[in-house]
Amino acid sequence: MTKTRSTFLPAALATLMLSTSAIPASAASWLRLGTFTSRPYGHVDYCSRHVSDCGARMTRAALPPARLAVLEQINSAVNRAITPVTDEDQYGRFEVWKLNVSAGDCEDYALEKRARLMRKGFHAEDLLLAMTHTGSEYHTVLVVRTRLGDFVLDNLTEAVLPVSKSKLAFIKVQSPDHGGNWLKVTGKTSAAPKSATG
């Protein structure tokens, strides 16, 4: 999994580029989710240590507002708080997913962002770990589901991007209904998820 992060965009510029007024509802895009698929080994191990994090989740009738300023603040804060290092260098083995670390790789950034957003009032079913491919390696990010679409929080950039603007290839994602299940990503869609329409 990748550990390198790119030079950050100034926070003010990122906020201007992705203000809610700049993303009309008609342009919203969500990941289209398919059938069950294999779970990443690191997440299986994580769930054995955090059982309450990996069970059934409530689904609500409507998706939450985007709260982009909060997403940008959390993304930036975590990207700066964690020093990038591979699991092999830190633990001598692959796929160690941990919370509350000062150094780690992409999964650790995503888990920390998820934890901080939940403390800000976001719900687990709207905060989905996602496995992607950068074009050269596999890479885990956090996808946040909102009524303005799905947004990507990535340790490689300070910009919080809609999935429609992300250059990542999305492979699979946590199920919104169950934290221990993963679903194939079959594309992107402008149709809101069923849980958002009732």
Structure letter (DSSP) for residue 192: P
Q: Global pTM?
A: 0.86
- Per-residue pLDDT tens over the stretch 105-144: 999 999 999 999 999 999 999 999 999 999 999 999 999 9
pLDDT, tens digit (0-9, with 9 covering 90-100), for 73-97: 999 999 999 999 999 999 999 999 9
Q: Check residue 4 and give its pLDDT.
A: 52
Measuring CA to CA, which residue among 152, 143, 149 is closest to residue 176? Answer: 143
CA distance 94 to 179: 22
> Radius of gyration of the chain from Cα atoms?
16
Most confident residue range from 11-15, 75-79, 191-195:
75-79
Task: Give 27's pLDDT tier (boundaries 50, 70, 90).
Answer: low
Q: What is the pLDDT of residue 17?
A: 45
| One CATH from 3.40.50.11540, 3.40.718.10, 3.40.50.880, 3.10.620.30 for 28-189 | 3.10.620.30
Domain ranges of the chain: 28-189
Both tokens of residue 126?
A: 């709207």
